């Protein structure tokens, strides 16, 4: 279990999302909650804290997120690899994933959707730019609130490579001395 989550600057969400881990997107619409896995996303800006995601319209979550204009990014770690795999291979049309996978709903501050208590971090998001939603299923969100567990400082995240396999995050190496401007 991670240490309790603390408030974290939204402009620094890239610290956890830029390295490319698979994340769990929770959403709520019309009295229903759901979770999907997501690996096709990128950071887009520090301030406002923007990121973009390709969410396939085949996902149950697609309409929930499009209609609510909200979602939460939850960051899972290697101990959750089975749960992550199962979430990505089941449909919210058929099961309640929170119940099925024994996940705890925690209240978000600014978004009407549940965060996943067991995850290392949560990023509450509002839809910011839907220009490419109709043509490419590409959503741009603003992170309006971030909460991150204080320990471990470098969580062992999962990075999907296809074929049912994940790379897990390895060592951290600094080359700060070679950086002229550290962001």
Where on the chain is the footprint of a second copy (CB under 8 A)?
12, 14-16, 18-21, 39-45, 52-54, 78, 81-82, 85-86, 88-90, 129, 131-132, 135-136, 138, 140, 154, 156-157, 159-183
CB 83: neighbour CB atoms within 10 A? 21
In terms of CB distance, is 54 or 117 closer to a second copy? 54
Report CA 47 to chain centroid distance, whole Å.
18
**Rounded to 5 degrees, what are φ and ψ at 132?**
-105, 15
Residue 81 token pair:
């690899």
CA angle 133, 139, 140 (to 5 degrees): 130
In terms of CB distance, is 13 or 113 closer to a second copy? 13
In terms of CB distance, is 31 or 170 closer to a second copy? 170
Min dist. Cβ of residue 28 to a second copy (A) = 24
In terms of CB distance, is 1 or 177 closer to a second copy? 177
Min dist. Cβ of residue 115 to a second copy (A) = 22
The span from the CA of 142 to the CA of 16, in Å, is 15
In terms of CB distance, is 31 or 164 closer to a second copy? 164
Min dist. Cβ of residue 112 to a second copy (A) = 26
Buried b (16+ CB within 10 A) or exposed e, 29-65: beeebbbbbbbebebbeeeebbbbbebeeebbbbebb
Min dist. Cβ of residue 183 to a second copy (A) = 6
Min dist. Cβ of residue 69 to a second copy (A) = 18
The span from the CA of 36 to the CA of 102, in Å, is 15
């Amino acid at each position: 279990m991670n240490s309790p989550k603390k408030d974290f600057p939204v402009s620094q969400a890239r610290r956890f999302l830029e390295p490319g881990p698979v994340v769990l997107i929770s959403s709520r619409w019309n009295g229903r909650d759901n979770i999907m896995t997501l690996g096709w996303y990128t950071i887009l800006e520090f301030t406002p804290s923007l990121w973009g995601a390709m969410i396939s319209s085949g996902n149950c979550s697609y309409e929930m997120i499009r209609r609510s204009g909200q979602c939460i990014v939850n960051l899972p770690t290697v101990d959750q690899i089975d749960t992550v795999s199962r979430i990505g291979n089941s449909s919210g049309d058929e099961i309640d994933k929170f119940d099925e996978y024994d996940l705890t709903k925690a209240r978000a501050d600014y978004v009407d959707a549940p965060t996943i208590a067991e995850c290392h971090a949560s990023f509450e998001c509002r839809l910011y730019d839907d220009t490419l939603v109709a043509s490419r299923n590409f959503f741009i969100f603003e992170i309006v609130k971030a909460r991150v567990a204080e320990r471990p400082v470098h969580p062992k995240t999962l990075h999907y490579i296809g074929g049912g396999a994940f790379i897990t995050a390895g060592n951290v190496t600094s080359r700060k001395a070679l950086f002229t401007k550290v962001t």
